[in-house]
Structure 1
Amino acid sequence: MSVTSTATQASSPPVLRGRSPVAGLDRRSLGPLPVLAQSVSAVAPAAAMAATPALVTADAGTSALWSVALAALLALLVSVCVRTFSIRMAAPGALYSFTAKGLGPAAAFACGCALLIGYGVLAMGALTGAGLYAGQLFARLGMTAGPPELLVALVLLTVGILTAYFLVRGVRLSAGLALCLEAASIVLALAFFAVLLVRQGPHPDMRQLTPPDASPAALASVVAGALPAFGAFIGFESATVLGAEARRPFLVVGRAVRWTVVCSAGLYLLATYTQVLAAGSNGVLSPLGEFPDHHSAVRLPVLLDLGIAISFFACAVASGTALVRLLFSMGRERMTPRRLGRTHPTHGTPHIAVSFVLPILVLVPLGLLATGLEMSTVFTLLLSLCTYGFLTAYALVCVAAPVFLHRIGELTRAPVAAAAVCVPFLLLVLAAHARLNVSAGNALLPGLFTVLMGAGMVWFLLARRRDPERVGAIGVYDETSAQDVLHPVDSRRAR
């Protein structure tokens, strides 16, 4: 081929697709706030502020503040790796599609399976948490007529139906409501902390602010406390599933992910400091909603229960949003049934995926409760299981980031350094989480996660054997199409 012909080809305009691979979604319709609301709601800061300090303090003692800071640093480093992709591609499959561009189809599908477990079980846990705190609220108000199990089942069913409604109606409605509800819940929690701080006086607690000594035992306790602390950040990346629907995805998605981590870290540090300070010398903490009434001069526990229940509801909607968009991407790639890749003709949402997963998200917690397990036990088991999925997905995308940048000739030191720190620590946390569950008599959880991941990979191997070309196309993302150029307004509503 001559130099002239090569230059001619290099200067020719790229060939545009007729339609975007993710056509059907309400593309380029969301502003920055709904995108931010997606990540904030998935993290559920108000609920995490209530439960996390007690869990961290059980392992780290008065060094809990440093455990939260370590977990926040880890989450921030993971967000650096996620941003590597989010500023270059808009993919409803998010980390699943990102991993495909760095590590190929097999690792991507493993990431996708981990995320299906993570988002799915997180949604179940959020629905259960909403039922748990709603039941506690009704008990405080004396509304305990009838069997408590029936009340819990009705709350779960009601919250599940509301979640399905918002998922079908779309992010613009659900995200705005979720952000308002989450903000109100955070304000209630902050009001409670203000009361506690006023009661304790203006003197800083140097037990918490002094760095732990360099002894192996002290450092081990800080690292142990970082395990439940990091669990409070899971879901921070879920704004990435809205890349195709955001107006300026390469700008707003990365910002939403980063600021969710930063703001959540500030709230968790405040919550941990205040609750450890209020616990006094005995150092025994209870979840915030279980603080005795005498801790509050203005009798806030009823409002706190309401706020935490609302926070869990917002989390259920956000994690469900991420879950159905992941299934939508897999459906478009025909790695799952193609029907899951269809969208609602009016709302532009993956309504078939919603109708498929919502019954599962509601029936599994109800089934566990029907076996006689306490609701708090079901809640804890579900959150533990979802953590395995997120840790696995985060580790894979952190490995994929520098590999992807190397492939496109844009490798820099920051993603390499972030991956070098994140991946070993994430694997360490994953192993510690499994060991903790085994020692607590919950060996079923790591075993169940392994079985689910194994079943997913068997599905992948069968699909690759039947249609290698289809498997090789994993990782669809939004692309500018001829329809966008010719009909920029109508293309957003193209189904």
Structure 2
Amino acid sequence: MSVRSTAPPPLLRGHSPVGGLDRRSLGPLPVLAQSVSAVAPTAAMATTPGLVRADTGVFAVWSVALATVLALLVAACVRTFSRRMAAPGALYSFTAKGLGPAAAFCCGCALLIGYGVLAMGALTGSGLYAQQFLARLDLSLGPPQLIVAAVVLATGTLVAYFLLRGVRLSAGLTLCLEAASIVLALTFFVVLLVRHGARPDMRQLTPPTSALGPVMAGALPAFAAFIGFESAAALGAETRRPFLTVGRAVRWTVVCSAALFLLAVYAQVLPTAGHTSVRLPALLDLGVSLSFFACALASGTALVRLLFSMGRERMTPHRLGRTHPTHHTPHIAIALVLPVLVLVPLALIAAGTAPQVLFARLVNLCVYGFLTAYALVCLAAPVFLYRIGELTHGPVAVAVLSVPSLLAVLLAHAATGGALIPSLFVALMAAGTAWFLWMSRRDPASVGAIGVYDETSAADVFPEPPR
């Protein structure tokens, strides 16, 4: 009589490389909420139109349309990976599978800057608009800088709490906050449309054949409004159907955000908008503040999972790869990074930097990180497909279009923003490069392990019987 073996197949690991996270627990809505909240569409609807109009005038909608095409190209490259692997490191791990460890660590450093500085900027933005909300209500609770600092401290503490408790709780909160703030923003912009009447504004809708330069210049701030749309990929290991859900969340975040941005820009360029105040009313100020809080929470979620991945690979201290035994969240990474995200803005405000100036500089700095990471993952996508024998003409065409466009946007951003922010970004990336070179000599095995992702394990196939 033959005995059926229950030993696991030799190719299966004992446990997943990202074990400890709450694997395969999230449905589509929390994953979508992650990307939507990172984009912060309400905040972008309030701040982006004025920046785009400054470059393009009545052709602002065409700049947003151009930025949407570029964002969709990047989303297609992200989906190339997210349909085949689930990695908490997201673009960092994806790049490793296409371009190798060195390019991947460059992408990881850029993402650390992007997510970290975006979270700082979102906390500062939440404080700014909360202070404006109180000022519109004539509630003087102290100097504006003190109010902004107090809100940064309070919201940063809340972000730490929700990050520790887990994605399901934080995603539900961010989804509610974004839904409420989007409703407030839509109400405001619909009022502008009603005041204009039913007749379309053909000045904006006519193709800008004689203003291609300004339209391309306006695409720079317009594309910045989309940054963070890819962050759903950081939840791949925690998603029940990651190969389907993550790609859809990334794509629909771009599509829905583009619709909202086009509406906001169109409404604010209308002739009637120039004769009526387009300053944000008090309730919309509150909505923008909540939207920035949700953005800080989503950015922090992606940031700590990136640090978790690096910790599992031992490219950073291995303790960052540990997870909470109850909440299954990267609690050591949270404890390390959240004080930095809060204390840096507070220190700069205390040193005399105006909150408005600080917010603008933080947003500009994070754009460099995201553009660098996007360019690397777009370049990695066709190489990855070639390596696994699935390369077709489509991904090559997407890379050929997206990589030069992203580099052009990056160079344009550097040319128009002064030397301070590009120099700071280069210095931070140089520090990351030095760390990589040091790790290459000290621990080559860790460098070779870059690109950790979720895998089916023996514990998944042969779970331990209940005691």
**Under a length normalisation based on structure 1, what TM-score does the superposition of the two structures give?**
0.91
Q: Unpaired runs of 5+ in structure 2?
A: 1-7
SS at structure 2 position matched to 1:243: helix
CA contact (8 A) 1:196 1:278 kept: no
CA contact (8 A) 2:192 2:272 kept: no
Question: Which of the residues 287, 293, 305 maps onto 1:313?
Answer: 293
Does structure 1 residue 124 correspond to structure 2 residue 117?
no
Does structure 1 residue 247 correspond to structure 2 residue 240?
yes
| In 2, Cα distance between equivalents of 1:47 and 1:488 | 48
The structure 1 segments of at least 4 consecutive aligned residues displaced by more than 4 Å after TM superposition are 278-282
1:367 CA drift (Å): 1.4
Does structure 1 residue 347 correspond to structure 2 residue 336?
no
**Under a length normalisation based on structure 2, what TM-score does the superposition of the two structures give?**
0.96
Distance 1:322 1:278, change over 3 A: farther
1:65 CA drift (Å): 0.3
Aligned residue for 1:3? none
Does structure 1 residue 141 correspond to structure 2 residue 102?
no
Aligned residue for 1:210? 206
Identity level (%): 74
Aligned residue for 1:65? 61
1:13 CA drift (Å): 5.9
Question: Which of the residues 417, 420, 425 maps onto 1:444?
Answer: 420
Does structure 1 residue 267 correspond to structure 2 residue 260?
yes
Q: Deviations over 1:386-417 (max 9, x none)?
A: 00000000000000000000010000122111
1:193 CA drift (Å): 1.1
SS at structure 2 position matched to 1:319: helix
**Where in structure 2 are the equivalents of 1:15-414 lying within 5 Å?**
15-213=11-209, 215=210, 218-278=211-271, 290-291=279-280, 301-414=281-394
Distance 1:13 1:343, change over 3 A: closer
Letter in structure 2 aligned against 1:447: S
Distance 1:488 1:450, change over 3 A: farther
Distance 1:489 1:22, change over 3 A: farther
1:147 CA drift (Å): 2.6
Aligned residue for 2:3? none
1:148 CA drift (Å): 2.5
| In 2, Cα distance between equivalents of 1:278 and 1:324 | 45
Q: Deviations over 1:246-291 (max 9, x none)?
A: 0000000000000000000000001100011156579xx99x6x34
Aligned residue for 1:4? none
1:368 CA drift (Å): 1.5
Q: Unpaired runs of 5+ in structure 1?
A: 1-11, 292-300, 491-495
| In 2, Cα distance between equivalents of 1:318 and 1:117 | 15
Q: Deviations over 1:220-248 (max 9, x none)?
A: 10000000000000000000000000000
Aligned residue for 1:458? 434
Q: Deviations over 1:205-228 (max 9, x none)?
A: 000000001x4xx11100000000
CA contact (8 A) 2:145 2:355 kept: no
CA contact (8 A) 1:35 1:239 kept: yes
CA contact (8 A) 1:96 1:475 kept: yes
CA contact (8 A) 2:87 2:237 kept: yes
Distance 1:445 1:489, change over 3 A: farther
| In 2, Cα distance between equivalents of 1:36 and 1:321 | 13
Letter in structure 2 aligned against 1:234: I
1:161 CA drift (Å): 0.3
Does structure 1 residue 487 correspond to structure 2 residue 463?
yes
| In 1, Cα distance between equivalents of 2:273 and 2:37 | 32
| In 2, Cα distance between equivalents of 1:436 and 1:100 | 32
Distance 1:126 1:279, change over 3 A: farther
SS at structure 2 position matched to 1:146: coil
Distance 1:220 1:303, change over 3 A: same
| In 2, Cα distance between equivalents of 1:489 and 1:324 | 32
Aligned residue for 2:402? 422
